[in-house]
Amino acid sequence: MAPGLLHLEGVGYSYGERRPPVLEDLTLLVESGEWLSILGANGAGKSTLLRLMAGLLSPQRGRVLLEGEDLAQLTPRQRAQRLAFVPQDVRLSLPFTCQEIVAMGRYAHSKFWGGQSEGDRLAIERAMQDTSTLHLAQRPISQLSGGEAQRVRIAQALAQETKLLLLDEPTSHLDICFQLELMELLRRLQRERGMTIIIILHDLNLAAHYSQRLAFLTGSRLAAVGTPAQTLTPAFLREIFKVDLRVEEGEGGEKRVSLF
Amino acid sequence: MRRAAQFSFALSLLGVAIVLASLWGSVPLPWSDFWLLVSDPQALPEASRLIISQLRLPRILLAALVGASLALAGCGLQGLLRNPLADPYIVGTSSGASLGATLAIVWNLPNLTPYLSAVPAMAFIGALGAMFLVYRLAKVNNFLPVETFLLAGVIVGSFAGALVSLLLTMAGQDLQRVMLWLMGTLEQPEGPATFWLLLPYLVGGGATLLCCAQPLNLLGLGEENAQALGVNVERLKLWVVAASSLMTAAAVSVAGMIGFLGLVVPHLTRRLVGPDHRWLLPLCALNGATFLIVADMIARVIIAPRELPVGVLTALVGAPFFFFILKCQRSN
C-alpha cells in the first residue's frame, strides 16, 4: 500500500474547556489514493473530525500530520495548497458568476490582489471541465439548481489542485440522480487523478459501493475502521445506529443494507 | 473595458461636483471664473480667487476626504459582516466620538495647538476608546464572532449615547454647540490643517482595505469556506475592523455625525459595479467623495445665508432616496 498521507495521532477535541470532549484519543492513518467514508449517528463528531483533518480546527490533544508535517504549523495558504475542503451545502446568494467562484479556489496560489497566471487559468478551466460546469461559467451562482451549485463548489476545491479532497455531506439536499452523478465524479477523480477522498456520508449503501474503507464514529471515539465487508454487519450497525438493519450480499460480494 | 468606463464615469462625476461646488455658494461665481482659475489664475478677480482658494476648495477637499473615508469604512464593514445594512457607525466609534466631543465642549477644554482644537482631539480619543472597548467585549477565546461584534457595538454605542444625554441635561448653555457638532458640519475654522490631519487615515485605511479586497470577496462564501481556501479569517477581521474604525474615527472627529453616507454609497455602488471588492472599494471612495461634496454644496446654499448641518441633509435626502431604491428593487 502507498505510504500514509494523513495521520491522526491520539487526537482529542472539545469546544471549550468545560465542555465534554467531542473526540477522544483518535488515531487513524489515511492512505494516499484511498476513499475513506466517515459514518456515524448525528452528533457523533463526524464534522469535527473532518475539520480537524482539514486543519480548520486544531486539536487540543494529539497531532494531525499531513505527509509527516503537523497541520497546525502550516499557514492557511500552505494548507490550502495541499488539501481542499468542501463545506456542507450552504446556498450562496452572492452575485458572483460561477467562473469567479471557481477562480476563488486559486486564492492560495495566486499573487497579490488575485492576479491570474497562465497556470491559474488552466487549473480553473480543467476544474470546470472535470465537473461539467464550463457551460455555467457566466451564470450567477445564486441562479443555479442545488446539483449545479454543488458541482461548482467541487470545481472550486479542484481548482486548488490538491491531492487530498475532504467533503462534508456533499450529497445531502441532492436528489438521487445528482447524488450518483456526484459520486461517479469523485470516483473518476480518485481513479484517474489519484486523489485521496475523505467524505462524510449518511447513506450506507453509497458508502459501501464507493469507499475502500469506512470509519465509524460513536460516543466521541472511533468504533471501527475497515473495508465495507469487514464493518457492515447487523450486530455492529445496531451498536452504532441503535436500529436493526438487514445486511445482504449482492453481486460480487458487495454489501447492501436495508431497513425493511 | 467595463471597469475602465465605470472608473472614468465616477471620476468625471467627481470632477463636475468639484467645479460646481467651487462656483456655487452664497456668493455665486460665473463659469468663466473657473476657466480662469485653471488657465490663468493671475487674471482672476481677487475676490473670486479668495473665495475659491480660501473658502471653497479647502472645504471641498475636506468633504471629499470625509465622504471617501466613510464610504470606504462602510464598504469594508458591509463586506466583513456580510450584511449590506451595516454602516461605519455600527462599531460604536461614532458614539464614542460624540462622548469625547461633548466632554470637550462641556468642560470647555483649551486647544492643544493652534491647528488642532480640543473638540476633534477629544472626539478622536473617544472614538478610539469605544473601538477598543467593542473589540475587547466582542472577543471570545481569541476569535471575533460577527454576532458578538455587532452586539458589543450596540452596547457600547447605547452606553456612550446615554452618557452624552446625561451630560447634556446637566450643562444647559452648551446644548446648541453640542447639537450642532452631533448633526455634522464641514465648516472648519482650522481649514487646510484639518485636511492634512485627516489624509493619512484615508490613505492608510484605504490601502489596508484594498489589500483585504480579495480575501473579503472570499469571505462572502462563508467564514469556513474562506478559511478552507487559505484566508486567515481572524487576521482579516482584525485588519478590516481596525482600518474601518480608524477612518470612521478620524472622519467623525472632524466633521461630526454625517449619517447615511456610509450605508447608502457602498450599497448603491455595489448595485452598479457588482460585488468584487477590488473594484467596489475604490469606486466607493470616489462616489463617497462626490456624494458629500454635492450634499455639502446644497447644505451651504439651500437656506443661505444660513447653513444647514450637512448631516441633517444627508439623512433627509438619503433616507427617502434609499427607500425609493429598495422599493424599485422589490418591484423588479
Cβ contact (<8 Å) for A107 and B218?
A: yes
Pick the CATH number of A4-258 from 3.40.50.300, 1.20.140.10, 3.40.1550.10, 3.30.540.10: 3.40.50.300
Q: Where are the domains of chain A?
A: 4-258
Q: Chain A contact for B216, CB < 8 A?
A: no
C-alpha cell belonging to residue A187: 470516483
| H helix or E strand, kind and range, residue A76 | helix A76-82
d(CA A187, CA B252): 58
What are the chain B neighbours of A16 within 8 Å (beta carbons)? 141
Q: Residues B306, B309, B315, CA angle at the centre, nearest 5°? A: 135
Backbone φ, ψ for residue B326 (5° rounding): -65, -40
Residue A232 has pLDDT above 70, yes or no: yes
Residue A148 pLDDT grade (very low, low, confident, very high; cuts 50, 70, 90): confident
Contact A105, A85 (CB under 8 A): no
d(CA A175, CA B198): 57
Residue A153 has pLDDT above 70, yes or no: yes
**Tally of domains within chain B:** 1
Residues of A at the B interface, defined by Cβ within 8 angstroms: 16, 54, 56, 75-77, 79-81, 84-85, 87, 90, 92, 94-96, 100-101, 104-105, 107-108, 110, 112-114, 156, 160
d(CA A5, CA A146): 32
Highest mean pLDDT among A56-60, B108-112, B120-124, B260-264: A56-60
Mean pLDDT of chain B: 85
CATH number for B130: 1.10.3470.10
With CA atoms as reference, report the closest residue to B71 among B124, B122, B14: B14
Residue range B282-305: mean pLDDT, rounded:
91
Contact A125, A135 (CB under 8 A): no
Q: For residue A237, give how far its alpha carbon lies from the nearest alpha carbon of chain B (Å).
A: 32
Q: Looking at chain B, list the stretches that DSSP marks H as alpha helix, in order from N- to C-terminal side.
A: 2-23, 31-39, 46-50, 57-81, 93-106, 118-138, 146-170, 175-183, 192-211, 213-219, 223-228, 233-255, 261-273, 277-301, 310-331
Per-residue pLDDT, A219: 82
Q: What is the largest CA-CA distance in chain B?
A: 66
Residue A237 pLDDT grade (very low, low, confident, very high; cuts 50, 70, 90): confident
Residue B25 has pLDDT above 60, yes or no: yes
Residue B1 has pLDDT above 90, yes or no: no
Residue B191 pLDDT grade (very low, low, confident, very high; cuts 50, 70, 90): low
Q: Counting one residue from A and one from B, how many pairs have CB atoms under 8 Å apart?
A: 63
Segment A164-220, tens digit of pLDDT: 999 999 888 788 888 898 899 999 999 998 999 999 998 898 999 999 999 999 888
Q: Which of A54, A110, A112 sits opposite B228 (nearest CB)?
A: A54
With CA atoms as reference, report the closest residue to A42 among A238, A222, A218, A225: A218
Q: Chain A contact for B207, CB < 8 A?
A: no
